[in-house]
Chains A and B, each alone.
Chain A
């Protein structure tokens, strides 16, 4: 038998049809794990396999859709081995596809399953099913989970792999993945990609149409026989089904089959189509693009890369990365997105931190709050690979230089994950001074990229900005190099802009002028600070001038809006009033007071803390309710931001409190409220996040020497993890006081699991902290001696 890869190279292949709905039709009791029947009643499945083989399917899928270890536990390996054998014996001469469905759990950060756990579930399945001829990963909704399955298949087997996701009318999966993002991310890791389930054959058409234009890989389509009614009956008959399959084939689809509700009759019709039609050539229209799991950014115009998530020369970012204050990183991401960035550069290059771990953590957190694609800014191959593994999309790797070492170590990683890459025009001889030297290095990198399997359109050449204060002639050479490389290759260009004006006054003027010139020279992706309005204005003006912004519509809508009138009367109120009312003007008022000479500490102790205490008392007395308390905390935070700007780093350092939502729990609303409130009392609050491993919490508390740790849990099932965390803390950090809170906890329960204090609300946490760190009296009972 030919390898399946060769088999699908020039023909239309036919897969089998439904399994689950056939069982239902045969009135087989399936319960919570239908695949268990492989062990107890294998004849049920062999009958179905034989029927599909007789109907003319080229490929028979094993009865293993839900047999992965996450769903079938210890039975998993036995079921999978038996199912592959059963399919082989029932359908001799056919290709046997190891069928792998979702784990039924959501990966981090939305759920608690880690990438490694998901990977391991699929690794086990791939190993157990190694006697199959190919691997079919299907009905996937989450690109993160699909990638875990794909990588597990790739790294633990040589079998051909097919990746199929399930889309809805809105052209997205349940987790919001769009067709282009799926194609860009999955195609480099799979031998064929496609869609199945969820919709009938008619509704899948527009999705299939889009997909066939977006990939050079063979496309598979396995629709449902329509949507089921409440009794589980499907309405699309074999003839109607086949009429749509013909249309798929005309669009260039290579593999057709059926999902829920289809029968051997449907497959027989597909066989006729495969035998009577020729395979259409690939319909791919190449499009240079990168993506996150939910947004594709196509380079059919200028796209802005935000540069702010980078500690180089940024005191606040350095401090945030050292402290592990990822909230600051997340805020930077959202600010840049709102200011107009299309892609975010992510850099963790600080000598005194673990760059790899920090980069991975940032990639994980940023994906949770922003849909913008990321640019991994790092030159260490192992850190790049770790970040790309954690990234659920097609990233840009920034960057590879012209050095052979760099090319040989970084490009294979870029190729494996199907990323794009920045080609930095430097090599061991340093920064080139001539246009020709820049081009020579660029050509070398582009050729090496091709050799490693990275196509030209995924290379982003950086012709390097040098400082005109030192080398004035270089500005023109950079622009000329952009022009040349764009005319010679189908590559994109990137350029960090602001370096041009280093050391000069009124830098914004030089930066804007240089940015405009570079855009006219052919710059596709400027790397800049989008929070500086002049930068975004220069890009918007260019788009209006060159015609990319048709009828100047975007420019007009962005800049014709009248500026918001300032809330003048708010400024006249006292700081106490502004905080207690939760008004954002509190920030400006603080800046005003500081400018007028009020000492920062006097402001904190004399105004901020008393205002917060007053609103805290009001909350306890029931004078205000939760949203009002939190609004005050939000306003106070703005004040602290102003104060921090004016205080030397060391003097802002407060007492450390570590907070975490315990392992297994993703419900972190209570913990987040506590964090917001505590941070305003000047404490150094370290938020470890949600679903934090027991060992991690203990290790972080120890490392930071924290005297107070707050743990939250919402679920009864995760309280045992809280107890385990407390036990570890008692062992490793005997001096740390532990306070606990969360919906399922009571004072008794907190005592039982060994906590020091039970917090019924955020105000209790504040009083406990004041007791521990400032010796204030506390009216809450200590639960242990």
Chain B
């Protein structure tokens, strides 16, 4: 059986999209010195409100905006606890994840009057797919790259924009300087608090878009724990990508590949319980390989320095 069809490569990109959004959020966060493990919870909450917003308004765009707004609000709430009340950022993230796991189910039950999922997204409320005219007609490449969700294209555009933001704008410089040494940044007049809020806020909006993708394109509605660790995988992708947007994107694609492969294998009748853990195992292995590689490079550098 040939599994490496154009469909397969198409699915890698589709599966990588939500991870990519969360990875970019993690990349910007880490550059600013913030380890945001709450991305998972933010994605859950945004996924919920994205689907609800689209359903209430009858318009996918409103749903997407609501998902982004909810992501921003949760990120700022995290910021308030972490920066103003000096709660450990990891614990803050853990609390957001608790709310994202159980709290979302609570809200769904209240809002829908007892249901535990929302199958609210119909074809017309789904985030639209886009066929790119010229690209579409190219054989093979067209079938892989064309016809994705609007958010997928935005996600890959954001890889570039994130790089521009971090390296070509004054705000990016401030974010990096606060991440590198907050005291030094503060001493030259940068408002550390403001930059931190902006950093975590951008991450929240990005994670919100990833959440919207989950409930408004990947699946047709919200269900409990649907994000299934993608927010955590994004943290791994961030560190494997060496903290850079482009590297993070490649790492997200690796996870997309692992999961797409899993789906293919389970289609042959293998127990899905054996296939489902693949992305998580790949994450651990990838982190190890990355760390070993990193260590080897360092040793080499010392060796040449000593010569």
Real binding pair = no
Q: Write the residues of chain A forming the contact surface with B, with a CB cutoff of 8 angstroms.
A: none
Q: Write the residues of chain B forming the contact surface with A, with a CB cutoff of 8 angstroms.
A: none
